[in-house]
Chains A and B, each alone.
Chain A
Amino acid sequence: MIDGTTLMGVAAPVGEGSPWSAYQAAARDLDALAADTVPGHLRARIAILGSFTLEPFLPVLRVEGARAGLWIDGYVGAYGQYLSELLDPSSALYQFKPDVTFLAIDSDVLWNQRWAAPSPLGSEPVVGGLFGPLFSGLETFERAGTGLVVVNDFPLPRRSTEGVNAFRNKGTFAHTVAHANKHLRLRLAARQHSFLFPLADVVSQMGRVRAYNWPSHYRGHVTWSDALMSAVARRYTGFALAALGKATKCIVLDLDNTLWGGILGEDGAEGIAIGPQWPGQQFLDFQRELLDLQRQGLLLAVSSKNNEHEVLAVLRDHPHMVIREEHLAAMRVNWDDKATGIRSIAHELNIGLDHMLLIDDSPHERAWVREQIPQMLVPELPADAALYADWIGSLPSLLVLGQTAEDARRTEQYHESRSREAYRASVGTTEDFFRGLKLRVVIEQVTDKTMGRVVQLLAKTNQFNLTTRRHDEAAIRRRVASGEWRVYTMQVTDRFGDFGLTGVAIAEPAPGVWHIDSLLMSCRVIGKSVESALIARIAADARATGAHVLSAEFIDSGRNQAAASFLSTHGFDKTSSGGFVRSLEAPGPTWPDWIESGAEIPETRIAVGHR
């Protein structure tokens, strides 16, 4: 079976700035692998539609995907046919069923619309002429529940001949591009599953001269240069990782010469560089960027060879530190080797090592961790700390698509978890522990308010997940509205804090038999017996409709062993076909008597329907 490390190995020889021919050759090396042995959780279905020739971009995207451990099944729309493909539900695009669809629309579309008449048109008719049909196509496409859609903004592709008074004149092309970008941002912001791709930012980062291949553009509409294809593919990969729930969840930070300048053990708290003047400012800005990521829901942790009391003094008392103790979900400050510390953090936070990323200025530590933990992301840092704050924004796996209330509270929840574990160590039996936790569970049916979190959990949860089916929002809304599905949400609190919405189950009620399509829990509530409450609630609802059997499946994904025994421990029997059934004529499954049941908001299900 092909794993992520194999895919990364194929991409490794193709470095940043490699010519397209090197990508093309590496993509053929990918073709030589046995694609059917790539496990489902490493596969992303990516569609690319656009206004110019995009076939050459596909090998670049596949190789950049492989660099991130992904196998990309790609679909490239026909040249310039993006509107007709979006508007036609019978098109090959719809049949492909992409996880993410990228719309690569060149500024040339605006340029050509502007020159559609003998005299150049103003921005209103140009932008209206593009966005009217484009958003109509996007609405049709999104209604079919076809994953995420990512549309790029418009860079100014060439130097302008519009003169020094262009900024006063609304009839200029520069104004048209600015107008288009403003409207694109506003209209995409109103759509939950559409995202803006900052192409203008990518082009500006590398410079227009490097970004565009004008000879190739005029010869055959291959507009993007090798360098731009490579940079865009890296960022597209970030969207694919996030859509598949494979983005980084935790950044592990070194301290000396990474989070601050200098060595704390030698320079002391007063001697380290962090503050509003050079050289401290470069670390200050880096910390601010990290804190922005933490506020989006990424966890920050520290693994450092230092004396813990000295580090805590800096985190608590240094006047210019931005990252403080409360921003860190875990800390390993000791003299153990770094890989051991990182494994210990992963264990404490219950996060897979493939969801962790190390930022460490030491090449030796990076090499050691890469060797010891090959599945962890260990990027190369810039040699100059002045580049750290800019560099952190270039890492594709740090892309956060959705922000839920749970994301914003994530670090706080890990602090609560530490208190909980300390309490666990102080009590006798497991049941005493559960009783002492004062668990409270609220099980409701999905609402508009909780839909985002439900979709997120379905996309991301790997460990306690019976089937790992990744249903999208449109499918959920359609099936809930039609009565095919009941989608349950479970919120859990205990005496130490609020776990938030951490469980989802999808039941298919049919006369006599209810089938459980999906049942999953966030790793944060595994081992707290709350899954018994969830199945007890489903069984009670099934009985109330006269059902006499619950059926379910366990589909082994290779990563969901935490859920492997759930069905058998709740009275389900395996059938000859590999499924599981449980008679509802026998008592149970029972709601654990140490879990308090919270009140349900009545008939919330009716709030969910087609959008």
Chain B
Amino acid sequence: MPPQQAIELRVRELLSQVTGEPIEVIGPGFSQATAASWTSLIHLMLVSQIEREFATTLTNDEIRDLTSFERIVDRLARPG
């Protein structure tokens, strides 16, 4: 599986596990603005799970910015 697709798949799974939304509804367009279950506390836990799962450290700006499926995938696909 190409790296981008693997990242997308894992982000889908992670968002589903953390927010409780069905995996089918998670994809482009899924965001904190559209999902009531994506609360500020869930966002905090999501950030922590992303850091753990992808062995990365997110900056404060990135944490504030990672509020949609696309933005998370873009950030994780970027080196660094």
The closest CB in chain A to the CB of B63 belongs to A219
Judging by beta carbons under 8 Å apart, are A220 and B41 in contact? Answer: yes
Judging by beta carbons under 8 Å apart, are B48 and A20 in contact? Answer: yes
Check: B45 CB closer than 8 A to any chain A CB.
Answer: yes
A residues in contact with B45, CB < 8 Å: 20-21, 24, 56, 222
Do A19 and B52 contact each other (CB < 8 Å), given the known contacts A24-B17, A24-B18, A25-B17?
Answer: yes
Check: A174 CB closer than 8 A to any chain B CB.
Answer: no
Write the nearest CB–CB distance from A28 to chain B, whole angstroms. Answer: 5
Interface string of A204-240 (1 = CB under 8 A from B): 0000000001011001101000100000000000000
The closest CB in chain A to the CB of B43 belongs to A220
Listed residue (B20, B44, B45, B47) with the most chain A CB atoms within 10 angstroms of its CB: B45
Check: B51 CB closer than 8 A to any chain A CB.
Answer: yes
Check: A303 CB closer than 8 A to any chain B CB.
Answer: no
Check: A325 CB closer than 8 A to any chain B CB.
Answer: no
Tell me the bound Cα distance from A215 to B62 in angstroms. 14
The closest CB in chain A to the CB of B52 belongs to A19
Check: B53 CB closer than 8 A to any chain A CB.
Answer: yes
Judging by beta carbons under 8 Å apart, are A55 and B41 in contact? Answer: yes
Write the nearest CB–CB distance from B6 to chain A, whole angstroms. Answer: 17
Check: B49 CB closer than 8 A to any chain A CB.
Answer: yes
Tell me the bound Cα distance from A400 to B44 in angstroms. 37
Q: Decide if the interface of chain B is mainly helix, strand, loop or mixed.
A: helix
Write the nearest CB–CB distance from A27 to chain B, whole angstroms. Answer: 9
Check: B14 CB closer than 8 A to any chain A CB.
Answer: yes
Do A22 and B17 contact each other (CB < 8 Å), given the known contacts A215-B48, A222-B45, A222-B48?
Answer: yes
Tell me the bound Cα distance from A25 to B14 in angstroms. 9
Interface string of B28-62 (1 = CB under 8 A from A): 00000000000011001101110111000100000
Write the nearest CB–CB distance from B43 to chain A, whole angstroms. Answer: 9
The closest CB in chain A to the CB of B53 belongs to A19
B residues in contact with A56, CB < 8 Å: 41, 45
Write the nearest CB–CB distance from A267 to chain B, whole angstroms. Answer: 47
Judging by beta carbons under 8 Å apart, are B52 and A53 in contact? Answer: no
B residues in contact with A25, CB < 8 Å: 16-17, 20
Judging by beta carbons under 8 Å apart, are A21 and B63 in contact? Answer: no
Tell me the bound Cα distance from A327 to B21 in angstroms. 54
Judging by beta carbons under 8 Å apart, are B44 and A21 in contact? Answer: no
Do A226 and B52 contact each other (CB < 8 Å), given the known contacts A219-B44, A220-B41?
Answer: yes
Write the nearest CB–CB distance from B47 to chain A, whole angstroms. Answer: 7
Do A21 and B41 contact each other (CB < 8 Å), given the known contacts A28-B20, A219-B63?
Answer: no
Write the nearest CB–CB distance from B19 to chain A, whole angstroms. Answer: 9
B residues in contact with A20, CB < 8 Å: 45, 48-49
Judging by beta carbons under 8 Å apart, are B18 and A21 in contact? Answer: yes
A residues in contact with B18, CB < 8 Å: 21, 24
Which one, B48, B53, B57, B63, contacts A213 given CB within 8 A?
B48
A residues in contact with B16, CB < 8 Å: 25
Judging by beta carbons under 8 Å apart, are A21 and B51 in contact? Answer: no
B residues in contact with A19, CB < 8 Å: 49, 52-53
Tell me the bound Cα distance from A28 to B53 in angstroms. 20
Tell me the bound Cα distance from A222 to B48 in angstroms. 10
Tell me the bound Cα distance from A56 to B41 in angstroms. 8
Judging by beta carbons under 8 Å apart, are A21 and B49 in contact? Answer: yes
Judging by beta carbons under 8 Å apart, are A220 and B49 in contact? Answer: no
Tell me the bound Cα distance from A25 to B13 in angstroms. 10
Judging by beta carbons under 8 Å apart, are A21 and B20 in contact? Answer: no
Write the nearest CB–CB distance from B3 to chain A, whole angstroms. Answer: 21
B residues in contact with A222, CB < 8 Å: 44-45, 48
B residues in contact with A22, CB < 8 Å: 17
A residues in contact with B63, CB < 8 Å: 219
Interface string of A14-37 (1 = CB under 8 A from B): 000001111011001000000000
Tell me the bound Cα distance from A226 to B51 in angstroms. 12
The closest CB in chain B to the CB of A222 belongs to B44
Do A53 and B41 contact each other (CB < 8 Å), given the known contacts A19-B49, A20-B48, A21-B49?
Answer: yes
B residues in contact with A215, CB < 8 Å: 48, 51, 57
A residues in contact with B20, CB < 8 Å: 24-25, 28
Tell me the bound Cα distance from A53 to B41 in angstroms. 9
Judging by beta carbons under 8 Å apart, are B14 and A219 in contact? Answer: no
Judging by beta carbons under 8 Å apart, are B14 and A220 in contact? Answer: no
Write the nearest CB–CB distance from B28 to chain A, whole angstroms. Answer: 21
Judging by beta carbons under 8 Å apart, are A219 and B17 in contact? Answer: no
Write the nearest CB–CB distance from A141 to chain B, whole angstroms. Answer: 27
Which one, B14, B40, B44, contacts A216 given CB within 8 A?
B44
Tell me the bound Cα distance from A462 to B65 in angstroms. 55
Write the nearest CB–CB distance from B21 to chain A, whole angstroms. Answer: 10
Listed residue (B17, B57, B63) with the most chain A CB atoms within 10 angstroms of its CB: B17
Which one, B47, B49, B52, B53, contacts A219 given CB within 8 A?
B47
Interface string of B7-29 (1 = CB under 8 A from A): 00000001011101000000000
B residues in contact with A213, CB < 8 Å: 48
B residues in contact with A24, CB < 8 Å: 17-18, 20, 45
Judging by beta carbons under 8 Å apart, are B44 and A220 in contact? Answer: yes
Tell me the bound Cα distance from A349 to B48 in angstroms. 49
Write the nearest CB–CB distance from B69 to chain A, whole angstroms. Answer: 15
Tell me the bound Cα distance from A63 to B57 in angstroms. 28
A residues in contact with B47, CB < 8 Å: 216, 219
Known: A219-B44, A222-B45. 10 other contacts (CB 8 A): A21-B18, A21-B45, A21-B49, A22-B17, A25-B17, A53-B41, A215-B57, A220-B40, A222-B44, A226-B48
Interface residues of A (CB under 8 A from B): 19-22, 24-25, 28, 53, 55-56, 213, 215-216, 219-220, 222, 226
Interface residues of B (CB under 8 A from A): 14, 16-18, 20, 40-41, 44-45, 47-49, 51-53, 57, 63
Q: Can you list the 10 inter-chain pairs with the closest CB atoms, starting with the nearest?
A: A25-B17, A21-B17, A220-B44, A21-B49, A216-B48, A28-B20, A21-B18, A56-B45, A24-B17, A24-B18
Q: List, sorted by A's number, 20 A–B pairs whose CB atoms are closer than 8 Å.
A: A19-B49, A19-B53, A20-B48, A21-B17, A21-B49, A21-B53, A24-B45, A28-B20, A56-B41, A56-B45, A213-B48, A215-B48, A215-B57, A216-B44, A216-B47, A219-B44, A219-B47, A220-B40, A222-B48, A226-B48
